[in-house]
Structure 1
């Protein structure tokens, strides 16, 4: 299934100089191959997507924002097929390497963007996050990365997947660079870091491998001490996180089927087996299943409001494990993917911002710690990440 690949798409690079004198002048960036770059095919990680869609004549909003900010585009990066993947592999374009854990998967579907930043091939890179596709590669590749509040960054000129989950995100190797990019992408100045209550989610930590939890607990304690204190909480009642993960999966897959069904019907495109299977399963999801899943979503929103609307930040492992090896069987990949959803579904269901802090390793590989805030806390999370780096 796996074969060697680089982070960037093969062929001529999409290279565009940024505006002179902008706040990001001197920085380079890459764009996941879901973002339009004028004059270049948007391939979407699938051989039939680019062939059946017109070459864009304008840049995606996010690409234009970085160019206007002064950053220089150095290429487009490999993505999982039409963004339907969480571990980073692609049977058509190849799987980008994980520079932080050689021989291991990078995480996806923003796999190429994370790989390029981790390898030092660019300073920052655009990704998208619906079910975890910025958060997961950030954790597995040892990067700062954020899923933004739903709607915080325009998605114009970007291939969509699931409208109530799709968000724009970005990566950086250090918090200072991440903060600079965040200010441009959110068109704001980061606030002074505050001293929020840090809520360490014990039920989320229980899903992590022992070595990951052991590596992350002291980091969470240090963050709590640096920001004024921490307390242990549970996100949900026993068994609810598992329910939320399964119901998030139903909602996201149902939306993805609605997004792609017309194109699939017209083109009969080629897919790797796992993507084809998941789309076929999505086509069978009923309105009754969606309605039941919406009940679970409302319960997650209610719980998030109680925990976070007052300004507290929730601390959880970003992923329950470090980067898995390449070459796994489909059944093994499915098991890893399902475990990821136990930790990524909460923020996705509730449309919350979540930042990965690359502050620990386990077994010599990165493992990330996340802070989750209430809706609109994106700039605040980036400011806290910068503060923690400055005071480390």
Structure 2
């Protein structure tokens, strides 16, 4: 299925002579494009909210750099999803694994890049929505340091975790686009130290961990000073539970006024998540907030400047599309256990392609200190050079 929002046709030329001239990009349907409704993957959002009069910051930045916008891409409803299946607009093709989900909620953006319909595409990442589709579709993807980028014109979900992210098929394009959006050149020096998150590799399915082993070997050659370490002493499941608690609460707070005013339509799984967020007990929220504080302290300790941490992006490759709801909850929960650190602690993270498990892509993630986004870009280039 096409990755673009049904019924839309958009082409906006970038500024001539810019550093990204000749590149095409697409934007997830959470980013405002002047004169076009922002649909948010929901049939009622665009109808019940005004049409934007200016481009989102990220869209304008790419246009000013010379890239040409070629379309708006499908997203899970109001970004509340991790697999990429939208009950109203369909499931974009995963060209690396036809018949399997592309990952979400930036599903259409990942699909468009993976299909070669554009060189890069904007997504968002709150609980894994760039990292997961990057892993499932075999792409480079980034979740920048939380709070680093201007999110003006991007439909929020859970602001304490929301970020803009993007995809590319190759490291050079990935770095080039990232320099424009981050406003900083790729770091010149390689990291001094490498940490391998042992429990994260243990949590992943055995075939996925084995598929990532050759990439780890390349990492160790690039950064010879490495050690194994536990990333989350309370357990990945505790971090996952904390993110599953905080994110729906914030999502409910974000969309509450709209829901109470207009009673919009939702797929069952999306409505259920919002209801759970509204009904979360204060004691549970307090526990989750303390766990977030602990996660931030742990990653601050593990990742001083010049250190990177490696872990699987997802615990397995893309699941089949069209699975019943009863099968999806444990799949989502397992994925979030390897993604929760992003929303909890806000460190930059990239997912690198280069491994196959069960005939489908799986990504290797690298994390760094807050603000050290371009150090990760340097690693992406080094890893591709050694491939």
Q: Same fold (TM over 0.5)?
A: yes
CA distance in structure 2 between the aligned counterparts of 1:186 and 1:111, rounded to whole angstroms: 23
CA distance in 1, matches of 2:306, 2:104: 30
Indicate the SS of the match to 1:206.
Answer: helix
1:329 is matched with which residue: 324, 327, 336?
324
Aligned with 1:140: secondary structure?
Answer: helix
Q: Return the alpha-carbon distance in structure 2 between the equivalents of residues 240 and 213 of structure 1.
A: 18
Select between 131-140 and 252-261 the one with higher mean Cα deviation. 252-261
Q: Work out the CA distance in 1 between the residues paired with 2:212 and 2:124.
A: 25
Asked whether the equivalents of residues 221 and 230 of structure 1 are also in contact (C-alpha less than 8 Å), the reply is: no
Partner of 2:141: 145
Q: 1:260 aligned to 255, 262, 266, which one?
A: 255
The aligned residue for residue 40 of structure 2 is 44
Deviations 1:153-212 (A, max 9, x none): 111001000010000000000000000000100111112141331111110011111110
The equivalent residue for 2:91 is 95
Q: 2:272: which partner in 1?
A: 277
Secondary structure in 1 matching 2:366: strand
Q: Do structure 1's residue 388 and structure 2's residue 377 form an aligned pair?
A: no
3-state SS of the aligned residue for 2:147? coil
Q: Map 1:269-308 to 2 at 5 A.
A: 269-308=264-303
Pairwise CA RMSD of aligned residues? 1.0
- 2:81 corresponds to which of 70, 79, 85: 85
Asked if 1:161 is matched to 2:180, the reply is: no
The verdict on how the C-alpha distance between 1:12 and 1:284 changes in structure 2, with shifts beyond 3 A counting, is closer
* Distance in 2 between residues matched to 1:231 and 1:133, nearest whole Å: 29
Distance apart, 1:224 and its partner CA: 1.6
How high is the TM-score relative to the length of structure 1? 0.97
Report the CA distance between 1:126 and its aligned residue: 0.0
Report the Cα distance in structure 1 between the residues aligned to 2:71 and 2:120, rounded to whole angstroms. 11
Q: 1:75 aligns with which of 53, 71, 78?
A: 71
Q: How does 1:305-324 map to 2 (within 5 A)?
A: 305-324=300-319
Q: In 1, distance between residues paired with 2:381 and 2:44?
A: 41
Matching residue of 1:26: 22
2:175 to 179, 184, 187: 179
Give me the whole-angstrom Cα distance separating, in 2, the residues matched to 1:177 and 1:148: 16
Cα distance, 1:286 vs. partner? 2.6
Aligned residue for 1:171, secondary structure, equals: strand
> 1: distance between equivalents of 2:177 and 2:163?
16
User: What SS does the corresponding residue of 2:261 show, helix, strand or coil?
Assistant: helix
Q: What's 1:343 paired with?
A: 338
Count of aligned pairs = 387
CA contact (8 A) 2:352 2:363 kept: yes
Distance in 2 between the 1:366 and 1:250 partners? 29
Q: Which moved more, 1:97-106 or 1:187-196?
A: 187-196
Which residue pairs with 1:13 in the alignment?
9
The CA distance in 2 between the partners of 1:234 and 1:275, in whole Å, is 33
Q: Which runs of 5+ in 2 are unaligned?
A: none
Task: State the shift of 1:377 in Å.
Answer: 1.2
Q: Which residue of 2 aligns with 1:191?
A: 187
The structural deviation recorded for 1:240 is 2.3
Aligned partners of 2:191 and 2:375 also within 8 Å: no
Ranges of 4+ aligned residues in structure 1 off by more than 3 Å: none
Residues 127, 342 of structure 2: 8 Å contact kept: no
TM-score, scaled to structure 2? 0.98
